[in-house]
A and B are shown apart, each in its own frame.
Chain A
Amino acid sequence: MIARERKAIVWGLRLVLGAILALRLLPWAVHEARGALEIQRLQRGQLERAKAGLAGLPALEDSARVLRTRLVAMAGRLVSGSTEAAALSDLSVHLKSRAWRSQARLERVELVPDSAAAGQLRRLTVVASFEGDARSIAGLLTAFETEAPLIVPLRMRVVARDPLAEIRGSEVLEIEIQAAAWYLLAGK
């Protein structure tokens, strides 16, 4: 092999190696480097956000303290029971008690399907039927507005058994109230 041929081979090899370097290895390396830099940029952002989150911890603790106080105050406004049946039972007791104080008689409590929920609170809606008179209506509504736990009357229907009884002074009213109350579902 003469020197010229050897030189041509060497230059050919250099060209091939250069091409591999420039067209394959270099783009690959640039791509990898960019990917790694991007990942690091994202991780840095994540870290910044994490630090910012930690920096906001005192404010979060303050908010939690306020919320805790409000939650404690809220507890008295819920009917007891952590299941629907238990809550319904407690609600019936309260309805009966309010009826008694309003000189009415609780006849029945029927559960109405209600899927409303707020966090872990579930709403319980019932239709309660009472028997009483005009004073009973006033008493019941006053009790709903002022007493704890919180029972919200949504609709009321009153039917006079004998329309002319009022004139005679012995009216009997069938009072039907749809009411809703909240209870705390057993922890999930």
Chain B
Amino acid sequence: MRSAPWRRLRWTARIGAGSVRVAVRRGRATPWQAAWDGDPASDVPNELARLLSEAPEHYSDRRLHLELDPPVLQVRHLANLPPVGTGALRELVAQQAGRFFRHGGAELVTDARWIGQRRRDLERPALAVAAEARILSSLIEAARAAGFTVATVRAAGHLEFDLRPAALRAVHHGQRRRGTRRLAAAVLAMWFVVFAAAIGRFLAERRAVVRELTSLSAPLDAIRRARVGMDRASVELEAVARAERERGQLARAVLKLADALPDSAIITSASVNVEGRGTVSGLAARPLEVVVRLEQSGALFRPRLTGSPGPEAVGGARWERFTIASDSGES
């Protein structure tokens, strides 16, 4: 099967009784593999180092996953354990490793899990695995000598079990912590760059706006002044136009008044404004007739006789002296 280059490489080394099988997998493909089968008493770490050193160097991702088979791996089904959590179970098995596994005085690396459904009774079994820390360390060292770093140490067939020695766990923990810090720093740096870019862009925009406003201020002032001048000129033109419209009003009012007065009346004084308000004084045979004519013609605004007309003989004829004024006319 052809390997897919975009898939991630996975190096595995399966350690069994006098056997070491090293393979590199990419997806379902296995581009390279090597195996050694020999005497169970042989030096397995050395053989692992040898096989790994023969691995093609163009596979750059050199993280190795160790999978252990018996007899390096010991597997036990445990029963009658107290119903504790998985973490406590691990600690319990680690503390009593000598009771559950053969060890010959050597230090063991263990892991354990409950199997089956959780129950309140003590019948729930647990599966525990263990390997000698010394062997694991020598395998890890051999891989390191061949230019590999060990990523996981697991039980073959039970890959959920973690058999990394404490030193390797500490190394991985440190790497993970450094990775987390690096990631946090990168995120912070990214946010810093984003903020800096946003602030920079904002300041640049503001500078541009201010610069543009400054450059436009002189023409704008000129336009503002021109508008003020134009408004003033419009007001002036309107005033003159209004005066132009009003200039003939008095002449029309006077003409109307002259037309309305009867020929029989003698006018001694008259006063009229552009609105047709005013007073007319004079002599007439029948002053009321004058009032009626002025009212009918509209020559004087709401004319009324003021005072009482008095008889007077003028030129041998009998006249009455009158004064007619607008309702709010001038005196």
The interface of chain A, by Cβ under 8 A from chain B, is 36-37, 39-40, 43-44, 46-47, 50-51, 53-54, 57, 60, 63-64, 67, 70-71, 74, 77-78, 118-121, 123, 137, 141-142, 144-145, 150-160, 163-164, 166-167, 180, 182
Query: In the complex where A159-B268, A159-B269 touch, is A141 in contact with B251 (Cβ < 8 A)?
Result: yes
- Asked whether, in the complex, the Cβ of B219 is within 8 Å of the Cβ of A47, the reply is no
- Asked whether, in the complex, the Cβ of B227 is within 8 Å of the Cβ of A145, the reply is no
Across chains A and B, the number of contacting residue pairs, with CB separation under 8 Å, is 132
User: B285 to chain A: closest CB distance in Å?
Assistant: 14
Question: Given contacts A74-B240, A119-B236, A157-B270, could you give 20 more A-B pairs where the C-beta distance is less than 8 Å?
Answer: A37-B202, A40-B206, A60-B223, A60-B230, A67-B233, A78-B240, A118-B238, A145-B248, A150-B247, A152-B247, A153-B251, A155-B271, A155-B274, A155-B330, A158-B270, A158-B271, A160-B267, A160-B268, A160-B269, A163-B268
**7 nearest A-B residue pairs (beta carbon):** A118-B239, A119-B232, A141-B251, A119-B236, A157-B271, A155-B273, A153-B250
**Complex Cα distance A119/B235, Å?**
6
- Asked whether, in the complex, the Cβ of A43 is within 8 Å of the Cβ of B314, the reply is no
- Asked whether, in the complex, the Cβ of B205 is within 8 Å of the Cβ of A40, the reply is yes
Taking CB as reference atom, which chain A residue is nearest B216?
A50
Interface size, chain B (Cβ < 8 Å):
46
15 A–B contacts, CB within 8 A, in A order: A43-B206, A53-B223, A57-B223, A60-B227, A64-B230, A71-B233, A77-B243, A141-B254, A145-B251, A153-B250, A155-B250, A156-B272, A164-B315, A182-B239, A182-B240
**Complex Cα distance A145/B254, Å?**
13
Q: Which of B7-15, B42-50, B157-165, B207-215 contacts A (4 or more CB under 8 A)?
A: B207-215
User: B211 to chain A: closest CB distance in Å?
Assistant: 10
Chain B binding surface, main DSSP class: helix
Taking CB as reference atom, which chain A residue is nearest B205?
A40
- Asked whether, in the complex, the Cβ of B240 is within 8 Å of the Cβ of A156, the reply is no
**Complex Cα distance A2/B113, Å?**
35
User: B239 to chain A: closest CB distance in Å?
Assistant: 3
Taking CB as reference atom, which chain B residue is nearest A159?
B269
User: A36 to chain B: closest CB distance in Å?
Assistant: 7
Chain A binding surface, main DSSP class: helix
Query: In the complex where A40-B209, A53-B223 touch, is A77 in contact with B272 (Cβ < 8 A)?
Result: no
In B241-271, the 8 Å CB interface with A consists of 243-244, 246-248, 250-251, 254, 266-271
User: A157 to chain B: closest CB distance in Å?
Assistant: 4
**Complex Cα distance A187/B217, Å?**
25
Query: In the complex where A47-B212, A163-B266 touch, is A67 in contact with B230 (Cβ < 8 A)?
Result: yes
- Asked whether, in the complex, the Cβ of B216 is within 8 Å of the Cβ of A54, the reply is yes
Query: In the complex where A50-B216, A54-B216, A159-B268 touch, is A144 in contact with B230 (Cβ < 8 A)?
Result: no
- Asked whether, in the complex, the Cβ of A163 is within 8 Å of the Cβ of B282, the reply is yes
Whether B35 is near chain A, meaning CB under 8 Å from some CB there, is no
- Asked whether, in the complex, the Cβ of B250 is within 8 Å of the Cβ of A156, the reply is yes
Q: In the assembled complex, which residues on chain B have CB atoms less than 8 Å from the CB atom of A39?
A: 206
Q: Which of B237, B243, B267, B270 contacts A152, CB < 8 Å?
A: B243
Q: Which of A46, A63, A164 contacts B314, CB < 8 Å?
A: A164
Q: Which of A37, A121, A152, A158 contacts B236, CB < 8 Å?
A: A121
**Complex Cα distance A121/B254, Å?**
29
**Complex Cα distance A160/B281, Å?**
10
- Asked whether, in the complex, the Cβ of A163 is within 8 Å of the Cβ of B267, the reply is yes
Query: In the complex where A40-B202, A144-B250, A152-B247 touch, is A121 in contact with B273 (Cβ < 8 A)?
Result: no
Whether B226 is near chain A, meaning CB under 8 Å from some CB there, is yes
Q: In the assembled complex, which residues on chain A have CB atoms less than 8 Å from the CB atom of B266?
A: 163-164, 166-167
User: A88 to chain B: closest CB distance in Å?
Assistant: 17
Q: In the assembled complex, which residues on chain A have CB atoms less than 8 Å from the CB atom of B237?
A: 67, 70-71, 74
Whether B234 is near chain A, meaning CB under 8 Å from some CB there, is yes
**Complex Cα distance A78/B239, Å?**
11
- Asked whether, in the complex, the Cβ of A180 is within 8 Å of the Cβ of B274, the reply is no
Q: Mark B311-328, 1 if CB is under 8 A from A, else 0.
A: 000110000000000000
Q: In the assembled complex, which residues on chain A have CB atoms less than 8 Å from the CB atom of B227?
A: 60
Q: Which of A46, A60, A150, A164 contacts B240, CB < 8 Å?
A: A150
